[in-house]
Structure 1
């Protein structure tokens, strides 16, 4: 649970909401083939449901009152990885700050594999 305190009161936002928001924003970027599985629960869930969950490959945490986002992605073979990563960082930062009003300190993008399509 992420708590946002302002002069108007306190707002609680679930980790699942952040993970879904970030996962959706990242997967919409050009060159992203999908999100990588980062832990056993995500892997088991994807095996059981036979589809990719929106929060797969996403970890959101708070550091000194600001958000830190870790993304594990699968990219399409032959695309410029540097350009994809810059695009993802900008889109995720903008989407999260617009939707929640919370400041994003860092977006860490890890390219776990490549996929040919």
Structure 2
């Protein structure tokens, strides 16, 4: 953004943080990032309170006037994914455009996992298929 009094540039990390926080505000988003990134983020959080979790699961491409956002989401079980995606997309576009003045050209959403309520209980609520043997061969 160029004005008669100077230029303003916005780092891609700023856009990623805004997009990540905007996505997490939507009810039904349990977490963000693919499994490995979530596990590493949890370990970092236990060790030193890592602040990169705001951008976990977010990648952006930022130009002079426009931005494109890619999100990896984990959704709560029972949430209608198309409705959730529309809400996340709307919230991210509003947040990024309002705070940065950049036009958001697209918000691509990939749902990587579904969080089950049993996963919060002790033991994870998982039944071990290995004991029963494989269901298909």
Asked if TM exceeds 0.5, the reply is: yes
Pairing 1:107–2:107 present: yes
Deviation digits for residues 25-65 of structure 1 (CA, Å, limit 9, x no counterpart) = 1011011001013876x764542333671110000103684
Q: TM-score, normalised by structure 2?
A: 0.71
Aligned pair partner of 1:6 in 2, 25, 37: 2
Quote the residue 1:83 is aligned against.
Answer: 83
**In the aligned structure 2, how far is the partner of 1:33 from the partner of 1:45?**
14
Considering only CA atoms, is the larger Rg found in Structure 1 or Structure 2?
2
SS of 1:13's equivalent?
coil
The question of whether the paired residues in 2 share the 8 Å contact of 1:38 and 1:57 is answered with: no
Higher helix share: 2
**In the aligned structure 2, how far is the partner of 1:79 from the partner of 1:90?**
17
Quote the residue 2:95 is aligned against.
Answer: 95
Pairing 1:25–2:22 present: yes
**In the aligned structure 1, how far is the partner of 2:35 from the partner of 2:64?**
24
CA positional deviation for 1:17: 1.6
Number of residue pairs matched? 112
**In the aligned structure 2, how far is the partner of 1:102 from the partner of 1:20?**
14
Runs of 4+ in 1 over 6 A off after TM superposition: none
CA positional deviation for 1:69: 0.2
User: Can you give the 5+ residue segments of structure 1 that lack an aligned partner in the other structure?
Assistant: none
User: Can you give the 5+ residue segments of structure 2 that lack an aligned partner in the other structure?
Assistant: 118-137
**In the aligned structure 2, how far is the partner of 1:43 from the partner of 1:17?**
23
SS of 1:30's equivalent?
coil
Q: TM-score, normalised by structure 1?
A: 0.82
**In the aligned structure 1, how far is the partner of 2:35 from the partner of 2:15?**
16
